[in-house]
Amino acid sequence: MTFSLVATGRRRTFDGASAKALTVVAAAFACWVIYANLFVISDPLVLGILFVSGILTILFVAVGHSPRAPEQPTLLDWALSALSLVAGVFFFINSEVISDRITLLDPFTGPQFFFGTALLLLTLEATRRTTGAGLTGIVTLFLIYNWFGYLLPPPFGHGISDFSYLLDILVFTTDGVFGVPVQVVASYVFLFVLFGTLLSKAGGGEFFFNLAAAATGNSRGGPAKVAVISSGLYGTMSGSPTSDVVATGSITIPIMRRLGYSKRFAGAVEVAASTGGSAMPPIMGSAAFILAEYTGTPYREIVYAALIPAFLYYIGVFCQVHFRAVHRDLKPYPDGIPNMSETFVLGWPFLVPIVIIISVLMAGYSPVFTAGAGALAVVVGTLFSKKTRMTVWQVIDALGETTLRILPVAGACAAAGLVIGGLSMTGLGMKAASVIIEISGGAPGFTLLLAAVVTIILGLGMPTPSAYILAAVLVGPALTKIGFPVLESHMFLLYYAILSALTPPIAVAALAAAAIADEDPFIIAFDAVRLAAVGFLMPFVFLWNPAILGQGTFFDIGLVAVGGVVGAIAIAVSFEWINLRTSGVATWPIRGLLVVGAAVSVAPQTIISLAGIAATLSVLGAIYFQAARKSPRHSAPGE
């Protein structure tokens, strides 16, 4: 078996009584999470302890040690699961004693040292099984640095040389394993994933797909446009580019292939569309909840800030898909396009929970309450139609599946907590920020470019939450140190953490699409990067003109939204030059002019922005009329 940084343990698919037993146990755990979040005020340390130990107990049974692990849990799996459970019981029973400990002063008892060390090692093994060797290796390197960094010369050395010091910070406080990432997963993320799972189990995924098909299926490139819209709608529920690709791509990619789309293009469309779902309000992905907690920004402000960028991202992807379809005269959606009115008549109950979530969130309620209200609205809303009504077992199944879906996210966030605790303990985060500023010379543009590259590199092969967390603690201080605002800086990092899922050479979202499209993931990833061009360029606007994040007057926000639409179309035309070059209108100077025009259109100065919008529209109009006169024939189908 070839070694891979992203190879994970086997997700076991039980059947019969074993499957039902796992579902019931996982559902019971989900019920406890709901109870702990909505009906009691839990101590953060106790909540973190019980959540992590419960997740690990289920994880070692549900996920094998390697891709070739046996279908049934081994004796080692049961032993690790039992150890996780016993460690959780120990920490829970002694939670009051642990909370009252004076960190770094009170010595460990023998059982505290044993179970603390065990939990540290169990977390690393869980991370390896669920996310692969990439993140596990990074976390291990940080742990080695935390333990042996005192041997390094200044400025990278530190004064910590005792393992018990390390263990005390990382396991016996809320700065390590039980820190912010796990607290967020155990609350906001879990409940929003539950909402998405319930909606999917009730048939919401099919409704949103039919809605997209009814809206765009008759146009040229219909299947690709359906993929763009449905993946965006589904992605805001799942929050994971990879799971979005698997869920919607298993339908859209084969249809695109059957109608003449190349393998790489079909896969790339799905990857680009699915990746953007993690930045799509109102739910977004788990990293957005961590951003809200980490920066102290109310989640509804994050949603508000993400609205225009998400809209512009999908305009860019949609336009490139449209231009490609027009040039190659790609076929519309096959026969049997859903009727729009019938789709709404059958699926209107699925819109009720979305409306409730938006309303409750905008009313100022907490994300936890919002997610709980949304999940309840799904169950109640589906009762109004026999076709959508959920049975008791479907609800139990959704509860259990939520727990199983959260396993890799929880494992990654627990490991990320180890990194955050270690960085805080050793001061490496601020040292890394100083290095970045020294390399960039403090120049804002170069610092942002360096921050984008570092964030993408940190995210290669990583789940989005882990990529964002690493970037936030290593790169975030550099941006705020040179004067960039906190929200804009972290939205910048969030976007590049999300986009790392489609960036070569690893591109985890492309790996998922490759299996469905039967194409090289590297080729798919490169096409996906081009389709997501607007997403790669837009984060720089966050810090140049914060109005794009909803910061400023209504006029400023409206103007940057209009300029952003014009700019997104201009970039789409520029990056789709392969399909326009035969018309003689997409020369290199014209492409460069379009990119410059896109940038000027979102300038923070009103006069400059208006001039950029007018000039860019003039160039786009000239391209359109010239291309229409020449009417180029489409390229070879396989291009």
Q: Is the dihedral of CA 428, 432, 433, 434 positive or negative?
A: positive
Within a domain: 452: yes
Within a domain: 176: no
pLDDT value at residue 334: 59
Tokens of 358: 């938006």
Within a domain: 461: yes
CA 398 to chain centre: 21
Contact 480, 436 (CB under 8 A): no
Torsion of CA 245, 132, 172, 455, to 10 degrees: -70
Instruction: Return averaged pLDDT per consecutive 10 residues of the chain, 639 residues in all.
Output: 62 87 95 90 80 94 90 94 94 84 85 93 91 82 86 76 84 85 86 85 80 74 78 71 77 78 88 90 83 89 94 93 78 68 81 86 84 89 80 92 88 84 77 85 93 89 84 91 94 95 84 84 90 95 96 95 96 73 60 91 96 93 74 44
- C-alpha span between 164 and 147 (Å, rounded): 10
Within a domain: 613: yes
Within a domain: 625: yes
Domain count, the chain: 1
Domain span including residue 502: 217-339+427-630
DSSP secondary structure letter of residue 604: S
pLDDT value at residue 583: 47
Strand partners, 11: 63
Within a domain: 608: yes
Within a domain: 207: no
Reported pTM: 0.84
Give the number of other CB atoms < 10 A from CB of residue 86. 14
Contact 43, 78 (CB under 8 A): no
Contact 318, 228 (CB under 8 A): yes
pLDDT value at residue 582: 42
pLDDT value at residue 508: 81
- C-alpha distances in Å from residue 364, one per residue of 196, 280, 298, 360, 463: 21, 19, 9, 7, 29
End-to-end CA distance of the chain: 33
**Is the omega angle on the peptide bond into residue 254 within 30 degrees of 0, that is, cis?**
no
Kindly calculate the radius of gyration of the chain based on its CA atoms and give it in whole angstroms: 25
Within a domain: 345: no
pLDDT value at residue 239: 63
DSSP of 209-253, one letter per residue?
A: HHHHHHHHTTSTTHHHHHHHHHHHHHHHHH--HHHHHHHHHHHHH
Contact 82, 53 (CB under 8 A): no
